[in-house]
Amino acid sequence: MLGVCYLEQIINHFVYLMSANFSILLIEADCVETQVQKIMLAPEKFNLIHETNSTDAWNFLHGKHALDLIIFNLNTPNSSFFTISYEKLLTAIKSQHQWRNVPIILLSDVQISKKEILMKIAKHVDAFILSPFNPKRFLKEVNELINKGINKHIAEIHQQHIDLARRINQLIDITEYSTDVVEKIEKLMIIKQLAFEHFDFEESYMRNHNYADYLVHFQNHEVMRNSIRFLLKDPKERINKDELKKFYSEMFDDLKDDEQYIRFLDQIKMSEVE
């Protein structure tokens, strides 16, 4: 019988298939330009999430949503005691592995050099647009930064693969000469944490990008999650060279599927705005 979790994945899959490829978080108090942005960032192209203050944006981000771009307007209120400061919000975004490659556009109606707060947060952003802005320039910046974010996202996936492969190979080496079970469990626990984070990371972005083969990919990840759980159930017997090599070859098969997803990302990149 299909589990509730699995059914949820199927439902999510079809919900996501009906929407656009890219998600943009707009953090901005309602203003005249908001309507212009909503028209330009039309739903057939973008899934636009609009939060009107930094605390709501913070709460949204902690729902673990995958994003392709953040547009942050300095008109966003953050003055009450419970709200999150601009700097804290942007520092948090740049320090989390799932968002650190998400480009940020900063909108403001004052020049950066004229305001101290702007100087402080400018280091976290990829583009600064002075408002009122030229719609064409705005859209050009959005398209270019989404593509830049995708390239960084691909590089992040490759880096996580390299790190995981290195750690699995290290553990295979350890099993050759060490009888220290605690050391092997510790190393495998780290691999488990990194692998699970990596699978979650890929899955959230695949759903976000409406990747058609997401479900198959998710099932492959489930096989690998279960392989790690299997090893940890009887670590003394199972953390050995043969079992680890078997897990490594499952990882290698998944890499082939990841390459397919990466080719898909290259295909959906935004076209140039003249």
Q: Which residues bind Fe ion (CB under 5 A)?
A: 202, 254, 258
- In angstroms, give the least distance from the CB of 217 to Fe ion: 6
- In angstroms, give the least distance from the CB of 103 to Fe ion: 22
Sequence-ordered list of residues with C-beta below 8 angstroms from that of 202, at least 6 positions apart, any chain: 157, 217, 221, 258, 261
H-type helices in the chain, by residue range? 4-17, 32-40, 54-61, 86-95, 116-122, 135-177, 181-208, 214-233, 235-238, 241-268
- In angstroms, give the least distance from the CB of 164 to Fe ion: 8
Can you say whether the dihedral through the CA atoms of 157, 142, 106, 68 is positive or negative?
A: negative
Interhelix angle 181-208/214-233, rounded to 10 degrees, is 170
- In angstroms, give the least distance from the CB of 65 to Fe ion: 19
Q: Which of 30/163 has CB closer to Fe ion?
A: 163
Q: Which of 100/136 has CB closer to Fe ion?
A: 100
Q: Which of 6/196 has CB closer to Fe ion?
A: 196
- In angstroms, give the least distance from the CB of 47 to Fe ion: 22
Q: Over 223-270, what HEC string results? A: HHHHHHHHHHHCHHHHCCHHHHHHHHHHHHHHHHHHHHHHHHHHHHCC
Q: Which of 185/262 has CB closer to Fe ion?
A: 262
Q: Which of 28/202 has CB closer to Fe ion?
A: 202
